[in-house]
Amino acid sequence: MRPEPALDTTVQGRCYCGGVRFTVRVPADTAPIFTAYCHCDSCRRAHAAPLYQVICVDREHLHIDDGVDLLQDYQRTPAAPVRSFCRACGTRIHNTFGDWKPKGRTPLVFFPALLEPSDQARMPSSWVPRHHNEPESCVLEWDFLTRIQPG
């Protein structure tokens, strides 16, 4: 018996107000560039949260279905990522990076917390965070974090 072929992953997400809606389609043979819980000062401030889950895929895998006109970009410094957010409600949608092209790929970070609940529940195992980015910047008790260790 032949194994079942791996399937492409397609998930949908939206901002808080629902004005920006997006689809992420990742081919079955393409792994994310990286997955992580980020603790860096920049992400903590941008999200007003002690840590944030990120998934980095190729730019062409994320498509804005609705609300392109609501997207606003912000870049704190020329070396910082470009953070795109909904002008209506302030939700961060994704980040892009200037010249950083690991292995010739075109990275874009999106935030799985924005996915529809049914899509969050069926994310592939390759999308599970694999590490903690900048754990030395952590503002939570590390004992608490050991309960959410990356896969």
Does residue 141 carry a pLDDT above 70?
no
The DSSP 8-state label assigned to residue 7 in this structure reads P
- Tell me what pLDDT residue 145 has: 57
- Which region, left, alpha or beta, applies to residue 18 given φ > 0 means left and ψ of -120 to 50 means alpha? left
Please indicate, yes or no, if residue 4 is contained in any of the structural domains. no
State the Cα–Cα distance between residues 79 and 15, nearest whole angstrom.
26
Residue 2 lies in a domain: no
Amino acid present at 46:
A
Q: Is the pLDDT of residue 134 over 70?
A: no
Domain contains 1: no
Q: Is pLDDT larger for residue 101 or for residue 109?
A: 109
Task: Name the one residue in this structure whose structure tokens are 């992580």.
Answer: 36
- Amino acid letter at 4? E
Q: For strands 52-58 and 82-86, give the pairing.
A: unpaired
High-pLDDT (> 90) share of the chain, %: 40
- Domain membership of residue 47 (yes or no) is yes
Greater pLDDT, 106 or 93: 93
Tokens of 18: 């629902």
Reply yes or no on whether the pLDDT at 93 is more than 70: yes
**Rounded mean pLDDT, 29-33:** 85
Q: How much is the mean pLDDT over the chain? A: 82
Between CA 55 and CA 33 the distance in angstroms is: 8
Supply the CATH number for residue 18's domain: 2.170.150.70
- Residue scoring higher pLDDT (97 or 3): 97
112 or 101, greater pLDDT: 112
Count of residues making up the chain: 151
pTM: 0.80
Provide φ and ψ at 121, rounded to 5°.
-70, -20
Torsion of CA 3, 122, 49, 23, to 10 degrees: 90
Share of the chain above pLDDT 70, in %: 75
Other CB atoms within 10 A of residue 16 CB:
12
| Domain membership of residue 109 as a residue range | 9-148
- Counting the structural domains of the chain, the total is 1
